[in-house]
Structure 1
């Protein structure tokens, strides 16, 4: 094949790779069968997302309008360009925790730049195909994260469900504060609306799995509240419309100050979105998700939201779960969710403003409970002690500290247990010499290295060889060694040098082709007395060892 032909093919593959990150007609192939469910799910998710978007905007310090803009603009952009068929994107509680100190330190004017920088970082990660790194997150970490998210979602609804407010940014602490501050009769009315929603949603499951229980429950609760004149909080007045997009101005000093916060926001957006998409793919038969395309979509969503005055966007598992449970099967549901929010802002704000917040809290409480799979929890807790520890620790840190820290700590602990287990599988075993015994064989030792010889196991594994006595020749069999890193190669090098200094000849048999490079670079082969002491088969190594024992150590 000529050089131009090879170059053309390479360009073609790169072009095809870029095209796979863009929207296509295949995204909507199932729409003729699912459009009713998608439409209803989008409406349900949009109604549930409305108060959350407003509340998250206020909590972050960016304002209610910023949260609503994010839900509309980012919700539609991420739905069209993202890699999940059912992901609903927008402002989230986890992002609020990260954004609040940034806005407090740099002001609301910095929000647009943080959006743009973070969005571009996430977009670049998608183009560079880094999305599949989430596949390295172990199952117990994913399920612990999901359990923690479900608990946070439930706890976040306690203030609304009780008609009171807390001051802490931690969901668990805020829930306790609101329970202490709750007062009758407002508490009773709010809990009554929550109970109505819960009962209607549970009964709807008996009618049909796709019955719009959440939508019906919200409608019934709103009617009951309006007719009885309950003194409960409602959504209230909405922003009048969307602003025009504006490119923010910036200088070098501002950029330098915001790069660090933008990286933190981008990391959270990427991790939360990918985990949310992965969890969403397990909630129903909605098809696989493309992790790289999801990053591209989320990056573009944050950039677009920043231009309109919004916040960085992430995949929102709560709203996604609501949509899936309501029948979402294609990305049209998420698009409808964003379009509905826009229509509400433009024409329907008066009606929606009367929806009780307690009713929406009931919907999310039921959704949070349905996110927890008791069978999965039992399976992980019974699988092994290490899996149970990783699962519980991830869930606890998610609720008590932060989502990013939870994933990082879960990965570190899971990695520690994995390395410990790998170290246990590695070993050094002394073997008998093959064939009939010959004089002098007692002064030859054959050791088989197997498993993984890496930094966590190298020293302990080779201590047995280093303590040999009354031996003139040692044969190290390395063909069964599955993993060899620089530390393991260095320990072998030091072992060979130590044995040679004691007058013990070392022969190495069967270095694997994938280990030969590191063995040469670190010095394993160079530490041998002679290149002839490197063998491909055991028979030749044993014969050479016997010649040393018979004729003396001077033999090469």
Structure 2
């Protein structure tokens, strides 16, 4: 574990100007106005109280602003969490969600402290795309119930079960809820188009305009639709008390996969968001600092009944469009959310659920990368990319999110191993025209020398490439391995060398290593293999090894058989 660098905020403060402050204030207020309806909608869709989402946005906004590694990232609850959180609440209850979030925060904190942030970057885009798109489909399906006002208690898990339950519940459709849902959808999409034509309208985010309009219609017209108040009761403006989450240790083994899924999903969502932000503002974030801040935020949000927090794509994109310069905009966003809920808590009880469902559905759709799944574009990618993307997508849609996360990680591991294996190769070296082999070639004819060059990492996935060598029945007197391009070795590689050495020695031959790099040399020395080979079994270059053989014996040089 090494020391983390300073958070982004403190590296930017020495150069902070008055113009930056004004840009951060205006952007933060706008993003806060957007984050309020989103956080409430995400919390309700996750099966918890809307205030849980609000306090998550406030705490995560403050923690990321103070400790984060990105200039413009805005944190809070994210739509990507919805299916996973809903499944945890339905199966184990709200208290289990708090415990799982706390454990996920601990995992993220340790990843940041041990500087393992770059591991998240190893997850292929195919896995991320399939996973995020699958989650988007699940979110949209789960919101159809409130969008149409269907009488459906708890929709079952899995695509087929959800579709069947929604079809069976269609006779209970409420015309007022459906009308409000489609009206909210038209306003949300229409206002978004107006924002593109009239940039000044971006100061009034489309979700906020839709939320206010829907609330006004329901409140003024007394429409018979479900609201926050009818489902959750009164919304209080009092600040929450910090309490440690209660952990039922009998459920620990069941909650651990959920905590791991929250951590992986949160880190992945944060990675996607920070990549987007870096491209837009031409900056580089610190992944380890980002994971550290995310871990701290997820350790604190459960103490107020909050949800898991991560980098939020919608608020971050709005933050960039509004000209934010530093993490101070994230702090202003958190303060804005806090002031809005304190001032307008009584009015929040009249917010209609069909309108919130509309906001969640549109946000989920915008979250997906649908163009990448279009067949015309998909067929341009390699078969490995297509299969990984489609498998991850189908697993996410058809089964539980935790299963998709676990299989996605497994696919990531296989994909990484496959790529690393393709980078490694072993080839025979033709010594016929090598200058240092002249004296050997003209010497006695009762011996032989073969040389091979290995390149890439030597790990368990590469060992099968040596099968042809290991199956040999006879060996020359000397076998030279040029390892200048071997960048690393693991235990399986060391065992391979030991086995190769035993076979060659059994036939009266000798193994010589050439050009060992730092990591392989340390590993082979620590294992005792270099000591077993002897003092004169390692050379810096192939030429030095060939000249050294002249002092031992002058065998006839042969060309290694093609492998």
Distance 1:479 1:25 in 2: 43
Q: Residue 550 of structure 1: CA displacement?
A: 4.9
- Residue by residue, what CA displacement relative to the aligned partner does 1:177-202 show, whole Å, maximum 9, x if unpaired? 23431325346424432442344145
1:476 maps to 481
- Residue by residue, what CA displacement relative to the aligned partner does 1:285-312 show, whole Å, maximum 9, x if unpaired? 355444344344444434444444x135
Q: Give the one of 228, 233, 245 matched to 1:235.
A: 228
Distance 1:97 1:401 in 2: 14
Are the equivalent residues in 1 in contact too, given 2:73–2:327 (CA < 8 A)? Answer: yes
What runs of 5+ residues in structure 1 fail to find an aligned partner? 1-12
Q: Give the one of 17, 27, 34 matched to 1:44.
A: 34
Q: Residue 101 of structure 1: CA displacement?
A: 6.7
Say if 1:96 and 1:417 are closer, same or farther in 2 by CA, change over 3 A: closer
Structural mapping, 1:121-200, within 5 Å: 122-123=108-109, 125-164=111-150, 165=152, 167-168=154-155, 170=157, 172=159, 173-174=161-162, 176-182=164-170, 183=173, 185-186=175-176, 188-200=178-190
1:369 maps to 365
Distance 1:257 1:41 in 2: 41
1:409 maps to 407
Distance 2:245 2:264 in 1: 29
Distance 1:191 1:213 in 2: 15
Are the equivalent residues in 2 in contact too, given 1:21–1:292 (CA < 8 A)? Answer: no
Distance 1:336 1:54 in 2: 24
Distance 1:478 1:300 in 2: 44
Q: Give the one of 85, 88, 92 matched to 1:96.
A: 85
The two structures, once aligned, show a CA RMSD in angstroms of 4.1
Distance 2:97 2:421 in 1: 47
Q: Does 1:280 align with 2:273?
A: yes
SS in 2 for 1:382: coil
Q: Residue 159 of structure 1: CA displacement?
A: 1.9
- Residue by residue, what CA displacement relative to the aligned partner does 1:70-107 show, whole Å, maximum 9, x if unpaired? 44445544454444433231484256247427854xx8
Say if 1:117 and 1:390 are closer, same or farther in 2 by CA, change over 3 A: closer
Q: Give the one of 383, 387, 390 matched to 2:388.
A: 390
Distance 1:325 1:305 in 2: 25
Say if 1:526 and 1:280 are closer, same or farther in 2 by CA, change over 3 A: closer
Are the equivalent residues in 2 in contact too, given 1:55–1:67 (CA < 8 A)? Answer: no
1:537 maps to 541
Q: Residue 55 of structure 1: CA displacement?
A: 4.7
Q: Residue 115 of structure 1: CA displacement?
A: 6.3
Q: TM-score, normalised by structure 1?
A: 0.78
Are the equivalent residues in 1 in contact too, given 2:458–2:486 (CA < 8 A)? Answer: yes
Q: Residue 43 of structure 1: CA displacement?
A: 0.6
What runs of 5+ residues in structure 2 fail to find an aligned partner? 557-563
Q: Give the one of 419, 435, 444 matched to 2:449.
A: 444
Say if 1:326 and 1:305 are closer, same or farther in 2 by CA, change over 3 A: same
Distance 1:81 1:398 in 2: 32
SS in 2 for 1:150: helix
Are the equivalent residues in 1 in contact too, given 2:40–2:51 (CA < 8 A)? Answer: no
Q: TM-score, normalised by structure 2?
A: 0.77
Distance 1:418 1:74 in 2: 32
Are the equivalent residues in 2 in contact too, given 1:54–1:65 (CA < 8 A)? Answer: no
Q: Does 1:245 align with 2:245?
A: no
Are the equivalent residues in 1 in contact too, given 2:475–2:509 (CA < 8 A)? Answer: no
Structural mapping, 1:10-159, within 5 Å: 17=4, 19-20=6-7, 26=13, 30-56=20-46, 59=47, 66-84=52-70, 85-90=72-77, 92-93=81-82, 96-97=85-86, 99-100=88-89, 103-104=92-93, 108=95, 119=105, 122-123=108-109, 125-159=111-145
1:3 maps to none
Distance 2:378 2:55 in 1: 40
2:209 maps to 216
1:457 maps to 462
1:432 maps to 430
Q: Residue 46 of structure 1: CA displacement?
A: 0.7
Q: Residue 411 of structure 1: CA displacement?
A: 3.2
Are the equivalent residues in 1 in contact too, given 2:149–2:178 (CA < 8 A)? Answer: no
SS in 1 for 2:360: helix
- Residue by residue, what CA displacement relative to the aligned partner does 1:95-135 show, whole Å, maximum 9, x if unpaired? 6247427854xx84x77776666655644554444444323
Q: Residue 234 of structure 1: CA displacement?
A: 2.7
Are the equivalent residues in 2 in contact too, given 1:88–1:316 (CA < 8 A)? Answer: yes
SS in 2 for 1:480: strand
Q: Give the length in aligned residue pairs.
A: 526
SS in 2 for 1:450: strand
Are the equivalent residues in 1 in contact too, given 2:245–2:302 (CA < 8 A)? Answer: no
Are the equivalent residues in 2 in contact too, given 1:95–1:312 (CA < 8 A)? Answer: no
2:297 maps to 301
Stretch deviating more after TM superposition (192-201 or 170-179): 170-179
Say if 1:430 and 1:49 are closer, same or farther in 2 by CA, change over 3 A: closer
Structural mapping, 1:250-265, within 5 Å: 257=250
Q: Does 1:493 align with 2:498?
A: yes
Stretch deviating more after TM superposition (535-544 or 336-345): 336-345
Distance 1:178 1:541 in 2: 75
